[in-house]
C-alpha cells in the first residue's frame, strides 16, 4: 500500500526538497537537538533526541505511513 491509499489530503507534500529553505531548517533542527537543555528535558521524559538528515527522515516517514496505512486498512478502521 502507498500513501495515496490514505487519501489526497492526509500527508501533504512529503517529497525531499519540497521547501526552498529545507537546508537551513535541517541545520537549525540539528542545532536545537544538540542544546544541553533540550537533551536534559527530553531525557527526563525518557526520550533520546537524535537528528536524521532530510533524506533519512523522508524515507522513515514514508515507510511508517505505508505500514500504518496497511494496518488501518486491514483492520477496516475509519474516522467517525
Question: What letter would DSSP give residue 11?
Answer: S
- Three cell numbers, residue 9: 489530503
Is this model's pTM higher than 0.85 or not? no
Indicate the domain borders of the chain. Answer: 19-49, 50-80
pLDDT of residue 54: 82
Predicted confidence (pLDDT) per residue in 24-46, tens digit: 777 888 888 889 999 999 999 99
Other Cβ atoms within 10 Å of 15 Cβ, number: 9
> Phi/psi zone of residue 4: left (φ > 0), alpha (ψ -120 to 50 degrees), beta?
alpha
The mean pLDDT of the chain is 81
- Backbone φ and ψ of 60, nearest 5°: -60, -45
Give me the phi and psi of 44, to 5 degrees please: -65, -15
Amino acid at each position: 500500500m502507498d500513501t495515496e491509499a490514505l487519501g489526497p489530503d492526509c500527508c501533504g507534500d512529503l517529497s525531499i526538497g519540497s521547501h526552498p529553505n529545507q537546508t537551513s531548517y535541517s541545520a537549525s533542527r540539528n542545532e536545537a537537538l544538540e542544546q544541553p537543555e533540550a537533551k536534559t528535558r527530553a531525557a527526563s521524559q525518557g526520550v533520546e533526541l537524535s537528528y536524521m538528515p532530510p533524506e533519512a527522515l523522508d524515507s522513515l516517514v514514508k515507510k511508517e505511513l505505508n505500514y500504518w496505512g496497511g494496518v488501518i486498512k486491514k483492520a477496516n478502521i475509519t474516522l467517525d
